[in-house]
Structure 1
Amino acid sequence: MSEVEALHEEIAKLRDQLAERDARLVELAASEARLKVALLEIEQIKMQLAVLRRQRYGQSSERLDGEIVQLELRLEDLEETVGEQIAASPRAREAKDHERKPTGRKPLPPHLPREVVVHEPEIICQCGGCDPARLTKIGETTTEVLEKIPARLKVIRHVRPKYACRRCEAVFQAPAPDLPIEKGRPGPGLLAHIAVSKYCDGLPLYRQAGILAREGIDISRAVLAEWVGQVAWWLVPLAKRIGEYVMAQSVIWTDDTPIRTLAPGKGKTNLSRFWCYAVDPRPYAGSGHPAVLYRYSADRKGERPQTHLEGFRGYLHADAFSGYEALYRPHGRNAPPVQHVACVAHARRKFFEVFDATQSVIAEEALRRIQDLYAVEDDIRGQPAAHRRTERQARAKPLLGAFHSWAIAQRRRLSSKAPLAKAFQYALNRWDALTRYIEDGRLSIDNNLSERLLR
């Protein structure tokens, strides 16, 4: 081959390489564009989720729950797509790094066990005569990687040797081990895993049966359901003890939420309720432990919380549900056994809805005044009850007095049918209960504790 032909061949190869490079650049640019679109959609979905979660406990909560689930699934798909593109493209990684807000990476939790893997370098020294034993260690670089050890099933074989005395014919054998299900096969660890997966992780029993089947363990959904029922039986004394502990306290936070339950034989569902009754002394540095009691009812009749709270004496953080009213009534000449502590966050929500819809300056001013009350709470969170009461009397009480006078004046100027007037009236109708939290340092400005426990 002549020199000219060789040059032409080299030029052709270079052109092919340039064309291949240009094609890769086009592909990378398209990937980068898709990544930016996905990142933008992720931010939009996060904003929509934030709005829906704020509205979650209003009307049409079931419809909102469905929208939230769909958005969360879409968000998960998008984030998986972003991960794939980042792994496949250096330029996509650069785009992601450019879009990502600079935040410090949190260290992995210290309570996790550490397994140390040391990667020794290959010793190839420029001097050619280095003895590895004579090298001096001048430092090291450490990288921590979070790893998951897959769950393993195992069979524990309990062997109880039996011994006999030839002289007196006595027989000796250790008693059978105590198991959660008599003569049953599941151990306590497996039962706990099944219950937690079902109730904490939302994993239905038929899916758990499928997971077990992949490991060669054939356990039907019906058997798993029977096991869960027996676990519930074992937990009854614990639930009872928690209930006794909660009802013995003098401050309780309560709320309820609707749930759909199957109606056997009817082919449809009923709207039932879950109630929670919570205590938490941590915000006021109190003694004791936080706890929550959950109760179920087939409806939302007022007799339900009245029955649940029978015998309770103290402060009750609750919403404006009329079913609680009987608890607040005095018994003859005696003071009411239960004092209602209303939720300032609920009152705030009324003003926020008006501001969000109309950008009302008056609603914005109401929100600012309520924000000042929460600023006091931020400063006293975790402080002893006596200190919290002193600070509230000195700082929050004047703010509440000014808010009350201002609210009355604004309400008189508004039509009773105006949404803003209804927001003011909601707060004024419950003013004593809304401001009761400043009387006792153990009380909270809102009922967010119980609402969080029902989410």
Structure 2
Amino acid sequence: MQNAPLETLDKDQLLALLKERDQQISGLTQQNAYLESQVEMYKRMQFGQKRERFEGDPAQIALPFEAPSEQAAEQEEILHEKISYIRKRPNHKGRAALPSHLPVEEIEIYPAGDLSEMVCIGKEVTEELDYEPARFLIKRYIRYKYAPKNGEGVRIGQLPERVIDKGIPSAGLLASILTDKYQDHLPLYRQKQRFARENIQIASSTLEGWTKEALIKLEPLYEQLVFDMKSKGYWQVDESPIKVLETDKKGACHQGYYWVYHSPLDDVVLFDYQPTRGSAGAKTMLESFKGYLQTDGYAVYEKHGKRKDVIHLACWAHARREFERALDNDKTRAQKALSMIQQLYAVERKARQLMLDAVEIKELRLTESLPVINELGKWIFEQIKSTLPKSQIGKAMQYSYGRWDALSAYLYDGNLLIDNNQIENSIRPLALGRKNYLFAGSHEAAQRAAMIYSFFAICKKHNVNPYNWLKNTLLNISTINHKNITDLYPQHFNKVHQLTNT
């Protein structure tokens, strides 16, 4: 009918043709609006050029490499004035106090010349914070042997427990290597370069072997962490990709995932590596979970959130993010939604400032947050009817509308959080690490890395020095009674050491 001459069509056929074309125009209009919103969103995400390009002029003349003598003399005068000013510049009155726990090296400075006929009338003390690069040394254990004068039975001093049997690295060196790699994102090849600067030649394979052996020592502690984590009743969950080298395909990478679980009530974090992002990846941890489960809108979490023993919580930060992306698509409605969401966060700030307990937080939310949520819900319900589904504002409304019960569920208990931001903060070091070492060498290596990421994330949550914790753990994990292994958790480190030192 579309190819037939219009003069041959009857009235009903013309109406049908017009209706079909209207539908096509409507579809194209929606598609165009969606594409425009995507373009605007990517413009907002673009903070600058990906690279700075400089195209040289082939006709450019040779550049001079020395300044004229008169200019050089003028520059010397300027430098003289600036250096004189810097020397005479008064001390800053608001400088921060130096840490009291650091060792102090005193350097006594006496006036020049003969002081035999003079009397000291006082002294002025000036302090500065200094730094010395890491110092390598060799620990040489000399064990003396003794034998009785009469009889048999030779006795020898007991060698301290070593992390790697018959290996040369100490617990301190291994802790430094792992902290540099997984906490400060310094790949092993860069650490090898640092060793070389100190004239210490260590093969890459040796560094990799040390790292592997040290991480294997943490396996019992990690397995206990997994067991204890499963008893928690409130989890925040997210996942993040990691490239893993394929052993059977040279140079090929597999896209694996770290599934990250956070218990907000006691700030415990668990990284679990899985080769997939599908439902099988979360099965190990989530299939037996009961309690509050807070996630983003990923379908795997939605499935587990529908189980009868689980109360699913959504994340207001993700809902807010969708409306923020819609600012260039529909500024008026996006701003209205963001303004009401901001009111919800204002209530959370008020609760923190007043240092309310869980019961008081719940009462405050029901008084001040619930009316805002009801108003926002009614507004979205009305506005969504006149919104193009594929537009960014339409997607933002659909995201919140489809998860409204889960977005409101944080009102049930004052211990629950309004968003998933804490677990996203725990994943951030992983993202920084990926930019430096790019991939894991195998699936087993990725899981070993998950262990140390877990413990270092807990260190950060509890303000524990990761190097000190790891060195202590590597020294003690082989000899500690299995019943007391939880004493080695990072969250217990400061407390245990305070008791030891008193």
Matched length: 353
The match for 1:411 is 384
Structure 2 residue 288 is matched with structure 1 residue 305: no
Question: Which segments of 5 or more consecutive residues in structure 1 lack a partner in the other structure?
Answer: 1-54, 72-86, 95-102, 125-129, 282-288, 331-335
User: Residue 270 of structure 1: CA displacement?
Assistant: 2.1
The match for 1:373 is 344
What secondary structure sits across from 2:218 in the alignment?
helix
Structural RMSD (CA): 3.5
Tell me the amino acid that sits aligned with residue 119 of structure 2. P
For residues 80 and 264 of structure 2, the distance between their equivalents in structure 1, rounded to whole angstroms, comes to: 49
Question: Which segments of 5 or more consecutive residues in structure 2 lack a partner in the other structure?
Answer: 1-37, 53-77, 86-92, 429-502
User: Residue 113 of structure 1: CA displacement?
Assistant: 4.1
The match for 2:128 is 145
Quickly say closer, same or farther: Cα 1:67–1:246, change in 2 above 3 A: farther
What secondary structure sits across from 1:294 in the alignment?
strand
Out of 280, 291, 294, the position equivalent to 2:264 is 280
What is the 5 A alignment of 1:31-430? Answer: 106-117=96-107, 131-133=118-120, 135=121, 142=126, 144-264=127-247, 265-281=249-265, 289-330=266-307, 336-355=308-327, 357-358=328-329, 360-381=331-352, 382-430=355-403
The match for 2:457 is none
Quickly say closer, same or farther: Cα 1:111–1:88, change in 2 above 3 A: farther
CA contact (8 A) 2:306 2:312 kept: no
For residues 363 and 92 of structure 1, the distance between their equivalents in structure 2, rounded to whole angstroms, comes to: 55
Structure 2 residue 410 is matched with structure 1 residue 437: yes
Tell me the amino acid that sits aligned with residue 338 of structure 2. L
Tell me the amino acid that sits aligned with residue 451 of structure 1. E
For residues 169 and 152 of structure 1, the distance between their equivalents in structure 2, rounded to whole angstroms, comes to: 44
Structure 2 residue 435 is matched with structure 1 residue 448: no
For residues 416 and 359 of structure 1, the distance between their equivalents in structure 2, rounded to whole angstroms, comes to: 13
For residues 442 and 263 of structure 1, the distance between their equivalents in structure 2, rounded to whole angstroms, comes to: 43
CA contact (8 A) 1:327 1:337 kept: no
TM-score for the superposition, normalised by structure 2: 0.63
What secondary structure sits across from 1:274 in the alignment?
strand
User: Residue 206 of structure 1: CA displacement?
Assistant: 2.2
For residues 414 and 105 of structure 2, the distance between their equivalents in structure 1, rounded to whole angstroms, comes to: 47
Quickly say closer, same or farther: Cα 1:254–1:105, change in 2 above 3 A: farther
Tell me the amino acid that sits aligned with residue 394 of structure 1. T
User: Residue 209 of structure 1: CA displacement?
Assistant: 2.0
For residues 193 and 64 of structure 1, the distance between their equivalents in structure 2, rounded to whole angstroms, comes to: 37
User: Residue 148 of structure 1: CA displacement?
Assistant: 1.3
User: Residue 114 of structure 1: CA displacement?
Assistant: 4.4
What secondary structure sits across from 2:138 in the alignment?
coil
CA contact (8 A) 1:276 1:450 kept: yes
For residues 136 and 214 of structure 1, the distance between their equivalents in structure 2, rounded to whole angstroms, comes to: 45
Quickly say closer, same or farther: Cα 1:247–1:269, change in 2 above 3 A: same
CA contact (8 A) 2:192 2:202 kept: yes
For residues 325 and 451 of structure 1, the distance between their equivalents in structure 2, rounded to whole angstroms, comes to: 18
Tell me the amino acid that sits aligned with residue 373 of structure 1. L
Tell me the amino acid that sits aligned with residue 264 of structure 2. D
For residues 184 and 416 of structure 1, the distance between their equivalents in structure 2, rounded to whole angstroms, comes to: 63
The match for 1:9 is none
For residues 293 and 202 of structure 2, the distance between their equivalents in structure 1, rounded to whole angstroms, comes to: 46
Per-residue CA deviation, residues 236-286 of structure 1 (Å, 9 max, x unaligned), is 1121222223222211111111122222333222222111111233xxxxx
For residues 403 and 228 of structure 1, the distance between their equivalents in structure 2, rounded to whole angstroms, comes to: 52
For residues 141 and 155 of structure 1, the distance between their equivalents in structure 2, rounded to whole angstroms, comes to: 36
What secondary structure sits across from 1:454 in the alignment?
helix
For residues 391 and 444 of structure 1, the distance between their equivalents in structure 2, rounded to whole angstroms, comes to: 14
The match for 2:492 is none
Tell me the amino acid that sits aligned with residue 390 of structure 1. E
Moved more, 162-171 or 181-190: 162-171
Quickly say closer, same or farther: Cα 1:118–1:241, change in 2 above 3 A: farther
